[in-house]
Amino acid sequence: MEMKNDSHEGLFGLIGIEYEEVGPDRCVLTLDVDERHLQPYGLVHGGIYCVLAETAASVGAAVYAMEHDMAGAVGVSNSTDFYRSMRQGTIRAVATPIHRGRSQQVWQVEMSDPVEDRLVSRAQVRLHNLADSAVIGGTSG
């Protein structure tokens, strides 16, 4: 399976996610907050944190899986907690593995405001390791 790594395609491009670091043991993403990311109260929408968590964990897990002769990894569960609100600035998401097994991985993602050096959200993402990329989205026969 080949992963697309153009951060300007799809959802990444729509909301402006940038890759800072990508590897099998750590994935770091950043997002500069603008009006696209805000809910009606002027705060960053909770779904933005969920997208950052899912993306960072999925990319790191997929890199790890592919380095271990698997086709990749896809998220099956995302539990995101919100600690502090943000209205502007940059969100930095750092994903690191908690567990990596034959069939699944679990990654923790901490999202912070790097200027204030404070944690704003934390997520745990469970991922399924893919033996065959043809099973993604029901593409197998």
CB 31 within 8 A of CB 15: yes
Report how far apart, in Å, the C-alpha atoms of 14 and of each of 29, 37, 51, 96 are: 15, 10, 12, 25
Which residues are CB-contacts of 25 (< 8 A; sequence separation ≥ 6)? Answer: 60, 64, 96, 97
Domain chopping of the chain, boundaries: 10-134
Whole-model pTM: value is 0.89
Q: 136, 122, 138: which is closest to 52 by C-alpha?
A: 122
Q: What single-letter amino acid sits at 117?
A: D
The answer to whether 2 is a known catalytic residue is no
Give residue 1's pLDDT band: very low, low, confident or very high (50, 70, 90). very low
Instruction: Copy the structure tokens of residue 64.
Output: 């790890």
Of 7, 2, 117, nearest to 56 (Cα)?
Answer: 7
Q: What is the pLDDT of residues 39-66, one digit of tens each?
A: 999 999 999 999 999 999 999 999 999 9
pLDDT band at residue 2, thresholds of 50, 70 and 90?
low
Provide the mean pLDDT of the chain: 91
Place of tokens 């990311």: 37
Distance between CA 22 and CA 57 in Å, rounded?
A: 10
What CATH superfamily is the domain 10-134?
A: Hotdog Thioesterase (3.10.129.10)
Q: Of 9, 18, 35, 54, which residue is the catalytic one?
A: 54
